[in-house]
Each structure stands twice: as C-alpha cells, then as structure tokens.
Amino acid sequence: MASSFDVIVIGAGPGGYVAAIRCAQLGLNTACIDRQTQQRGDQKGRPSLGGTCLNVGCIPSKALLDSSEQYHNLIHQFPAHGISVDNAAMDVAKMQARKEQIVSGLTGGIAQLFKANKVTSVHGHGRVMQDNTVDVLDDSGQVIQTLSAREIILAPGSVPIELPDMPFDHEVIVDSTGALNFDQVPKRLGIIGAGVIGLELGSVWNRLGSEVVVLEALDDFLMIADQHIARVAKRQFAQQGLDIRLGAMVKKADLGAGGLRMSYTQKGKRNTIEVDRIVVAVGRRPATDGLLSPDCGVAADDRGFIEVDDQCKTGAPHIWAVGDAVRGPMLAHKSSEEGVAVAERIAGGTGHVDFNCVPWVIYTSPEIAWVGQTEQALQQQGIEIKTGSFPFAATGRARAMEQPIGLVKMIADAQTDRLLGVHMIGAHVSELIGECVLAMAYQSSSEDIARTIHAHPTLSEATHEAALAVDKRAIHKVN
Ligand code: FAD
Ligand code: NAD
C-alpha cells in the first residue's frame, strides 16, 4: 500500500467518512484510518466503518426506537383503529438481530463506497506525529505503518462520559452502547441524565415494559429545547410512565441482594431506589486520547476538544478537525457538513456550514425537533420577537392518524419578521423540520411560509398555520 496521500482522515464516522468521500470526489488521493470493530453478532471483531453513528449511535438507537414503537402501538394505538391482537409479545433477541443486520448493512455500505471512490481504508489507531505524518497502531499499541499526507483531517468523534463514583462494569452499570444491547427487558431500569440519550433509550425500554426512573441533576427539564415544547414533552413522557426526577444528584450505586441501590439527593433530601440496571447518559467527551503526539502542534482544551477556528483549522498548518471532537453540537449531520466543507476548502473551494441552521431531533414519541434559537435564549439577548403556534389536534391529518398530540411554534423577529427559530413536538416532526431548516437557510420570513401552499391534509399544515399565527391570522384556530 502507498504510504503517501493527498489527504489522511482519522476516524470514519459521519465526519470522517463523508470528508474522505468528498475529498476523493474532488480528485484527492485519500486514506481513512479507523480503529472501530463490529461490536456484536456474527461479524463481531471485524473492522466496521461508520463511527459511533452507524455502529452504536443514531442507527441502532433508531432501529430499537422503531421496533419498540411498533410494539407499543400494537397494544396502545391499534385498538382505536378497531384492530385488536391477543397475546402480543416482543422477541428481544429478534429485535436485536434486526438491529444488528441494519448496522452491518450500513457499515458494509461505507466500505463499498470507499472502494467505489478509491478511498484507501486503513484499520488501526491513528496518531498524529510531526511533519504531517500519522502512525497507525494495532490493538497492542505497536506501530504497524507510518503514513504521510499533504493535509490531515481529524474526526475522532466522542465517547460516553463515565461518572467517577460509578464506573461502567458493562453488565449492570452501562453506557449507551450497553443500553442498546440488553438481551432482555430489565424489570427496573435507572437512567442517569434526562438528555437526548436518556430520553430515547429510556423510551425504548419503557415501551417494552421496564419501570424506568430517570434522574436528572438540573432543576429544569430539557434546557436545550424551547421550554414551551419541553413542558409538553415532560407531560407526555410522564403519561407514558417515564418517571423523570429533576434536581436529582446521584451519589453512588451499590450492588445488594435486591439489586442496585442508587442513592441520590433531591431538594436536600436523601433518597434511595433499587433498580436492576443503570444506564449512565450524562454526556459525551471527545475521543482524543492517544490521538495527538506532543510535538504535532495541534492543541486540545482541558476537556479534550480539539481547538479549531470557524473554518475547522487547527493551530497546526494543514491539519483540520471536524465533528464531535470540536466545538458545537454533537450531531451526525453537523459532523458531516463540517467534513464536506473541509474537503472543499482543501480542494481550493469555499466550504460553508451555517451553524444557525443545524436542526435537532429527539426521536421520542412524540418526536421533538427544532432549528434556530429558543424563545428563552432570544429573551436573554433582549431580541424583540413575535411567535405563532398551532396544535396538531387542529389538523385533519393528525386526527386521522390518531396522533393529535403536540404543536408547531414559530418565532420571528418582531421588526423584520425574519425567522429566528421553529420548534415542534408531534408525530413525524423529524421530517417536518426540514422545510423550516431550508426556510431559515434562505433567511425567510414567517410570511414566506404563510404564503407557501401546503398540501391538504398533511401534518405540514401545522407549520403553515403556525406561520399564519405569527401574524394572528391562523384559519383553523382562534387567534
Ligand atoms: P464518531 O461517529 O464518533 O466517529 C469517530 C470514529 O473515529 C469512530 O469510529 C472511532 O472509533 C474512530 N477513532 C477515534 N479516534 C481514532 C484514532 N485515533 N484512530 C482511528 N480511529 C479513531 N446524532 C444525530 O445527529 N442523530 C441521532 O439520532 C443520534 N443518535 C445518537 C444515539 C446514540 C446512542 C449516540 C451515542 C449518539 C447519537 N448521535 C446522534 C450522535 C452522533 O452519533 C455523533 O454526533 C456522530 O457520530 C459524530 O460523528 P463523528 O464523525 O464526529 O464521530
Ligand atoms: P446530553 O448532554 O444530551 O444530556 C446529559 C444530561 O445528563 C443533561 O441533562 C445533564 O444535565 C445530565 N447530567 C449530567 N451529569 C449528571 C449527573 N451526575 N447526574 C444526573 N444528571 C446528570 O448527553 P447524552 O444524552 O449523553 O447525549 C450525548 C450527546 O449525543 C447529545 O448531546 C447529542 O449531541 C448526541 N445525541 C444526539 C441524539 C439525537 O440527535 N437524536 C441522540 C442521542 C445522542
């Protein structure tokens, strides 16, 4: 194999593999180094491209969310349509096998894309050395190859944060990967952290029958979301049986005869609950351990984030960094867009990422999605706004689907009417948000959406009506 390339990418997650493919499309001789192996199933131990997202993140979690939602709907939604089933049962092994098959199909797909685009795939741990060289190490830490390139893109991603007093044993105290791989439904499941992972994976196991208690350190629920939407979400999750306890600081967990005893304090009171398994979902940290040799010239901050400018340039010439390991939200699509932008900059073009227009989706039921700023953030900045909202219950399609929960809320600048944020909770809002991302990217006003024809009957009519409501002229609700 050649040892000299135009570009070396370290990490084959959505940041790295997308950057590598885009570099190759632009005529650059590209290698991509990744150390990930398949975690389960008959491919266990084999190299597996796609990073956290495809192997242990977005894709397997959505596979389980979908399976568990089908099961939940069979029992709780189908009767309203006149469909009844006796003895509905979930075969957890089959559900997991389906998930594994989806993961291997997609990770194998990246390997094929690499081949088709002539990206050289290298399995091992990459470490950036001096003079634009990269050592590739095997599992035992031995250097097996040294590669060099004109440009290097770092896309090492992130790993779960471990609580110091509650280390993962990967059996009863697990991270998100462990929670994706349970081979049976835990009777009592404790989740630490009511963030995105806690809510998504808590929903999966709750729907399948676990008693789920979520302990969240903060006093407010889902602070990253618009608080109007967060309140609706909290009420829905409580109705579904997710027991979310706010302001709960977990101290420790001891294994006793009755299971794991978790002690926590809430409003100054000490409490204990017994659970069978604990998922720690308190955030993720950059996977930069062992990535940067001391003399490579790339700086990381004290939390391990690689320092970059707004173009994704590190302090070292010709070394770039993208994705979870740099500032900004830890989202697959944000990583990919940075990867594309860097590839285009390397090839002499002008890459562009609009950080004001990064959509967020939480794949619970109802789904939560937003783009732009929240009402509370805009208020804090003293920006004058006007808002309009519209409930799905007032749309014919949501009612016909038996999905009347939720709303669309639109926020526009009070003077210019320019869209500043759109926030949604309801069925399929992960898909509805796309229109609003495009509208914001085009710097639209709420009037632009209000004057756009939306098909009837669709859920997107709620977006249309929310835009009309900004100007107090929604048709199907009293303004
Ligand atoms: P990663 O996907 O983490 O990929 C980095 C790759 O680099 C990994 O394969 C790693 O093994 C490899 N690597 C690291 N260091 C080295 C090295 N030194 N040498 C060689 N290889 C190395 N985001 C969404 O947008 N939507 C979702 O629905 C979603 N769901 C998620 C669900 C879960 C359970 C989790 C954990 C995350 C989820 N995320 C989701 C977040 C998403 O997975 C990440 O934002 C995304 O994967 C980051 O992409 P990345 O390329 O920066 O890093
Ligand atoms: P998170 O930052 O979303 O949530 C962590 C939560 O844990 C926070 O609410 C925090 O206040 C709480 N917390 C922290 N320390 C605590 C403690 N000691 N006790 C109790 N609570 C504590 O992190 P996450 O859920 O681990 O997810 C990590 C990242 O992965 C997300 O921020 C997101 O970027 C990404 N992700 C995205 C999706 C998606 O896009 N649908 C899905 C899963 C993960």
The strand ranges marked E within 299-406 are 319-321, 360-362, 367-372, 385-391
Range(s) for CATH 3.50.50.60 in the chain? 4-160+285-353, 173-282
Closest listed residue to residue 387, CA positions, set 327, 470, 464, 331: 470
Write the secondary structure of 384-442 as one string of H (helix), E (strand) and C (coil): CEEEEEEEHHHCHHHHHCCCCCCEEEEEEECCCCEEEEEEEEECCHHHHHHHHHHHHHC
Outline which parts of the chain fall under CATH 3.30.390.30.
Answer: 357-470
Q: Per this entry, what is the length of the chain?
A: 479
Distance 222 CA to ligand 2 centre (A): 10
Which secondary structure element, helix H or strand E, spans residue 66, and what is its range? helix 58-76
Q: Which of 336, 435, 422 is nearest to 387 (CA)?
A: 422
106 CB contacts (<8 Å, ≥6 apart)?
50, 54, 59
Structure tokens, 62: 């959505």
Pocket of ligand 1 (CB under 6 A): 10-16, 33-36, 51-53, 57-58, 61, 125-126, 155-158, 176, 197, 287, 291, 323-324, 330-333, 335, 363
Reported as half-sphere exposure (CB side, CA atoms, 13 A), residue 366 has a value of: 29
| Probe target for ligand 2 pocket from 245, 284, 303, 360, with the most ligand atoms within 8 Å of CB | 284
Q: Which CATH architecture has domain 4-160+285-353?
A: 3-Layer(bba) Sandwich (3.50)
d(CA 138, CA 174) in angstroms, rounded, equals 26
Long-range contacts from 382-385, C-beta under 8 angstroms, 24+ separation: 383/413, 383/420, 384/413, 384/414, 384/415, 385/411, 385/412, 385/413, 385/414, 385/420
Over the range 196-207, which residues count as b (16 or more CB within 10 Å of their CB) and which as e? bbbbbbbbbbbb
Residue in this structure with the two tokens 């196991």, named with its chain if needed: 205
Ligand 1 atom closest to Cα of residue 201: 34
Q: What is the Å distance from ligand 2's center to 280 Cα?
A: 9
pLDDT at 39: 81
Ligand (nearest to CA of 165): 2
Residues with CB under 6 A from ligand 2: 163, 192-198, 200, 215-218, 250, 281-284, 329-331, 361-363
357-470 is classed CATH 3.40.1360.10:
no
Residue numbers annotated as active site:
456
How far is the centre of ligand 2, averaged over its atoms, from the C-alpha of 358 (Å)?
Answer: 17
pLDDT per position in the chain (479 positions), as tens? 669 999 999 999 999 999 999 999 999 999 999 999 988 877 888 999 999 999 999 999 999 999 999 999 999 999 999 999 999 999 999 999 999 999 999 999 999 999 999 999 999 999 999 999 999 999 999 999 999 999 999 999 999 999 998 999 999 999 999 999 999 999 999 999 999 999 999 999 999 999 999 999 999 999 999 999 999 999 999 999 999 999 999 988 988 887 899 999 999 999 999 999 999 999 999 999 999 999 999 999 999 999 999 999 999 999 999 999 999 999 999 999 999 999 999 999 999 999 999 999 999 999 999 999 999 999 999 999 999 999 999 999 999 999 999 999 999 999 999 999 999 999 999 999 999 999 999 999 999 999 999 999 999 999 999 999 999 999 999 99
- CATH dotted code for 173-282: 3.50.50.60
Residue type, 124: G
Give the residue, out of 52, 64, 120, 135, with the most ligand 1 atoms within 8 A of its beta carbon, to mutate for a pocket test.
52
Taking the CB of residue 306, how many other CB atoms lie within 10 A of it?
26
Phi, psi of 77 (to 5 degrees): -105, -40
Phi-psi region of 324 (alpha: psi -120 to 50; beta: other; left: phi over 0): alpha
DSSP letter at 276? S
